[in-house]
């Protein structure tokens, strides 16, 4: 199959209303595949000198000279067929490499992410979505994975990638992610984490007595830990508190681990306790790891709740020097206990601390970003469809207070300028204001799902349409924006 010949034939005879994604061209045996962009949607084109559909669902067919051209929808079934032909389109476990996850709430960002990773040595988790994000965007694990597959194919990428089923709390969601072929499982046991501030001393003691009946965690009192040149020991109260906060949570993690272990041969496993009230102290970190080890839970990543304020879509808030000291100790603990990766959640836009995170972990880490790509998308809307942006913005203001409930943010809506007083060309500048970033960041679910009385989407279809028309500009902005993250992390 000669690429040039195929493209010339296609453009001359079928090309009206279509443009070819040239990088997508792939051959296999006696046929070739490539992706095209029509006026409203993208399609996969299968071409060969035989009338064989190779297992794809075909919507229309043409024959030009000796060549058959089969047009196929970007459906799940066709993605599955494509994955069988090109195994590199399947995610694989990352295991012991430094890595970076790029969530994509809209499912259209993978080509931009790939351009950001160009020349980077980080292992990319191109598919990464949390259960919460799936609920809010009404997407499934399968949607998430297949959107990535089409993005990879479009961009012609042949490297490796992982798929992270993020913030899983329930076994049901875990089983679904396993069935869909995800390669990383991030268990969020926060429903089983106890907050010390909500318990009296008596309650803590009672809970601790119950824990001691299950396992003699007391034995950690006898151990000393040499971390970063200092000796760390549990005293009774710290040990009790650590057990009260994390014991049940880790029991839950163990249960979830066994579920995966039974079904998947090789996988990445992460434990995330980042969404808790109080920062994870070094001794609490040690307790978690001791307990995981005792239960033979093999894990690649651990996401702690680090000091400072890790809000969505904006830079780190807090004492950078304090973070630097803490992260140094946590990194040392991770190395002492066998060298797993510390995982940084809410990693979007934390430009002021990446350097220290990268330094202290010696470049061995995992970072997760997600909402920042959505922000870049809405910025494209603000540039190319100011009317739509204004509607989204006003709608977001209405739903913000309800939507922020499950997020930790301190957004001050009074800092957001009155949009009616701004000219169209001033709208993109709004994204420099933290409060606007969070306003947009947090309301994505409501915005994407809002409908009128007739049941039509208020914004969703228009939003996707604009993004479709300006996708190249979007990819470039993502490449720059995520690229800046990678650069500061030293990759």
Q: Which two tokens stand for residue 381?
A: 């809307």
Q: Cα-flanking dihedrals φ and ψ of residue 49, to 5°? A: -90, 0
CB 263 within 8 A of CB 181: no
Of all residues in the shown chain, the one whose CB is closest to Zn ion is: 345
Distance of CA 239 to the CA centre of its chain: 34
Q: Which two tokens stand for residue 388?
A: 């739509």
CB 459 within 8 A of CB 449: no
Q: Which residue among 166, 173, 291, 434 is the active-site one? A: 166
Three-state DSSP class for residue 130: strand
Distance of CA 133 to the CA centre of its chain: 9
Nearer to Zn ion, 307 or 388 (CB): 307
Three-state DSSP class for residue 306: coil
Site for Zn ion in 311-370 (CB under 5 A): 345
SS3 content of the chain, % helix, strand, coil (to 5): 50, 20, 30
Site for Zn ion in 255-284 (CB under 5 A): 274
Nearer to Zn ion, 117 or 306 (CB): 306
Instruction: State the number of binding residues for Zn ion (CB under 5 A).
Output: 2
Beta strands in 96-229 (DSSP E): 99-102, 123-125, 127-130, 163-168, 184-187, 224-227
CB of 123 to Zn ion, least distance (A): 19
CA distance 407 to 416: 19
* Alpha-helical segments (H) within 97-179: 110-117, 131-137, 141-155, 171-179
CB of 257 to Zn ion, least distance (A): 18
Q: Which residue among 173, 176, 180, 270 is the active-site one? A: 270
A 10 A CB-CB count for 249 gives 22
CB of 274 to Zn ion, least distance (A): 4
Nearer to Zn ion, 101 or 112 (CB): 101
Q: Which two tokens stand for residue 53?
A: 């559909």
Contacts for 261-265 with beta carbons within 8 Å, 24 or more apart?
263/175, 263/178, 264/178
Q: Residues with Cβ < 8 Å from 82, sequence gap 6 or more?
A: 33, 44, 56, 89, 149, 153
Three-state DSSP class for residue 334: helix
Nearer to Zn ion, 83 or 345 (CB): 345
Three-state DSSP class for residue 21: strand
Q: Residues with Cβ < 8 Å from 380, sequence gap 6 or more?
A: 466, 467, 470, 473, 474, 477
Active site residue 270: yes
CA distance 167 to 174: 10
Nearer to Zn ion, 345 or 485 (CB): 345
- Helices then strands, each counted (H, E), the chain: 17, 16
CB 244 within 8 A of CB 188: no
| Catalytic sites, residue numbers | 166, 270
Binding residues vs Zn ion (CB under 5 A): 274, 345
């Amino acid at each position: 199959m000669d690429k040039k010949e195929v493209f010339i034939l296609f453009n001359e005879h079928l090309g009206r209303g279509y443009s070819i994604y040239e990088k997508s061209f792939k051959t296999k045996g006696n046929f070739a595949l490539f992706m095209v962009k029509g006026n409203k949607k993208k399609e996969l084109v299968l071409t060969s000198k035989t009338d064989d559909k190779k297992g794809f669902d075909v919507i229309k067919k043409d024959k030009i000279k000796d060549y058959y051209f089969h047009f196929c929808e970007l459906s799940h079934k066709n993605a599955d067929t494509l994955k069988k032909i090109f195994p590199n389109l399947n995610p694989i476990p990352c295991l012991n490499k430094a890595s970076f996850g790029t969530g994509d709430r809209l499912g259209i960002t993978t080509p931009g992410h790939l351009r950001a990773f160009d020349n980077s040595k980080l292992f990319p988790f191109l598919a990464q979505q949390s259960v919460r994000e799936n609920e809010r965007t009404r997407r499934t694990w399968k949607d998430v994975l297949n959107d990535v597959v089409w993005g990879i194919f479009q961009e012609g990428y042949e490297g490796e990638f992982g798929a992270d089923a993020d913030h899983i709390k329930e076994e049901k969601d875990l089983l679904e992610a396993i069935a869909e072929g995800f390669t990383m499982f991030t268990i969020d046991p926060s429903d089983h984490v106890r907050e010390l501030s909500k318990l009296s001393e008596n309650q803590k003691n009672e809970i601790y007595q119950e824990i001691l009946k299950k396992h003699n965690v007391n034995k950690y009192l006898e151990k000393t830990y040499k971390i970063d040149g200092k000796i760390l020991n549990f005293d009774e109260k710290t040990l009790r508190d650590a057990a009260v906060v994390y014991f049940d949570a880790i029991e839950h993690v163990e249960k979830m681990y066994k579920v995966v272990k039974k079904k998947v041969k090789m996988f990445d496993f992460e434990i995330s306790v980042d969404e808790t009230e109080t920062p994870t102290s070094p001794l609490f970190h040690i307790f978690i790891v001791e307990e995981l080890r005792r239960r033979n839970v093999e894990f690649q990543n651990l996401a702690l709740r680090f000091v400072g304020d890790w809000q969505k879509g904006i830079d780190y808030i807090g004492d950078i020097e304090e973070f630097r000291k803490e992260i140094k100790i946590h990194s040392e603990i991770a190395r002492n206990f066998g060298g797993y990766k510390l995982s940084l959640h809410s990693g979007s836009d934390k430009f002021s601390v990446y350097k220290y995170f990268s330094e202290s972990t010696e470049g061995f880490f995992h970072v997760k970003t997600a909402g920042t790509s959505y922000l870049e998308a809405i910025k494209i809307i603000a540039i190319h469809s100011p009317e739509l942006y204004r509607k989204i913005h006003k709608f977001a203001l209405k739903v913000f207070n309800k939507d922020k409930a499950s997020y930790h943010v301190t957004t001050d809506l009074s800092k957001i300028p009155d949009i009616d007083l701004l000219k169209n060309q001033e709208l993109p500048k709004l994204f420099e204001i933290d409060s606007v970033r969070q306003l947009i960041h947090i309301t994505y679910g409501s915005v994407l799902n809002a409908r009128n009385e007739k049941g039509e989407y208020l914004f969703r279809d228009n939003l996707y349409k604009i993004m479709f028309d300006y996708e190249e500009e979007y990819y470039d902005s993502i490449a720059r924006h995520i690229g800046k993250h990678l650069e500061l992390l030293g990759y």
